[in-house]
Structure 1
């Protein structure tokens, strides 16, 4: 008896397997890139502070650098889940600042409190802290299929606005490097897909 292999189904399965293997290889490449970036972040921690204008427009290579800036005027407040330097959790209060030389889009994390209510005792002034990206809330998987929107720099202030507790300083060790695990998952998915298809073919031939 001739054992025929369904052409269309086989092509689709092989295409899916090839795509999963490609994603696994891409994750391995991203792993090496992330390791180099984490080493750069660790070096940035030890560098001398600079004016934030020296790092703008910001890219990943400037993250975790100590910077200084002038918040000329607070134009609004937003909140996000935050961790204080003393270990407590609460609401991080992020000020949107109107600035001069630093340009538009500068945000400053001015501390943590148990309440989401915006602080009222700080309207701007000099700030010092470390620069990171303002969280955008976009799921990581979405970055595979859509272009990331322009990101906004965020200075996590060393000090806190009146009534707030200083936010925990940004730590490069908190940046995940899970690309090896993701690569293994994609390779496993490819293997499982081949096994399932082989079982399906075997049952079909029986």
Structure 2
């Protein structure tokens, strides 16, 4: 049995090349994103080791891939806090506690992420420690707010009468409206210890897809490209059978 090839039409060739090219471009883009995320996570892992700067300097030097370490003085607003629900750290469910912080040097107030608090074994909410009173000296990362992902429903913050208010994503515009005051477009991720142990976990990491996710996507796109080439080859291959041998009539 001999294999013979059908001559493909020009349209089929063009369609195959376009498909393969698109999938290869998508896979290459995912590889670049993976490399960027690796550099991002490596820089973030050492962010707390960098030399701290003043908040005013951080506000001018921060960009999409850099979170300056800042030293800032100010006071916490004891009456207003937000609890970011549905958080997971090291396999444990819990919340993040955000308090409003007013810098002594002036400027917009900031939300300070004081850390992760795990729920108990029954899934009940933890106790929310009140912020320390008086002028505080904080060391923190000046970072973007956590990503919101896909929003299903609203926070309905104004409808909540009791503080702290629970939220399912941090929208600084909505929170500023709820507070009736301007907020900095970034938040502070506290790295300095409190005056006493309050149970916060402050293992900060970027709120983005990890590099492994992008490598997985890249593998998928390259696989699609290989499938297109294999399908094109299969569709344009035909099997030619040899002529049957003539046999005489049986006697």
Q: TM-score, normalised by structure 1?
A: 0.65
| 1:95 and 1:109 in contact (8 A); partners too | yes
Show the 5 A alignment for 1:119-198.
Answer: 119=128, 121-122=130-131, 126=136, 127-138=138-149, 152-157=185-190, 158-159=192-193, 165-171=199-205, 176-178=210-212, 179-198=214-233
Q: Give the CA RMSD over aligned residues.
A: 4.3
Q: Partner of 2:82 in structure 1?
A: 77
Query: Unaligned regions of 5+ residues in structure 1, if any?
Result: 140-149
Q: Judging changes above 3 Å, is the alpha-carbon distance between structure 1 residues 168 and 41 closer, same or farther for their aligned structure 2 residues?
A: closer
| 1:64 and 1:171 in contact (8 A); partners too | no
Distance 2:149 2:198 in 1: 27
Structure of greater Rg: 2
Q: Secondary structure at the match of 1:155?
A: strand
Q: Could you list the per-position Cα deviations for residues 102-160 of structure 1 after superposition, in whole angstroms to 9, with x for gaps in the alignment?
A: 74473211232535588473387533333433221337xxxxxxxxxx99533222346
Q: Judging changes above 3 Å, is the alpha-carbon distance between structure 1 residues 33 and 22 closer, same or farther for their aligned structure 2 residues?
A: same
Q: Could you list the per-position Cα deviations for residues 76-95 of structure 1 after superposition, in whole angstroms to 9, with x for gaps in the alignment?
A: 413131549xx964211123
Distance 2:194 2:84 in 1: 14
| Structure 1 ranges of 4+ moved more than 6 A | none
Whichever structure has more helix as a proportion of its residues is: 1
1:18: how far off? 0.6
Does 2:82 align with 1:49?
no
Distance 1:9 1:131 in 2: 53
Distance 1:53 1:82 in 2: 32
Query: Unaligned regions of 5+ residues in structure 2, if any?
Result: 151-172, 174-183, 241-251
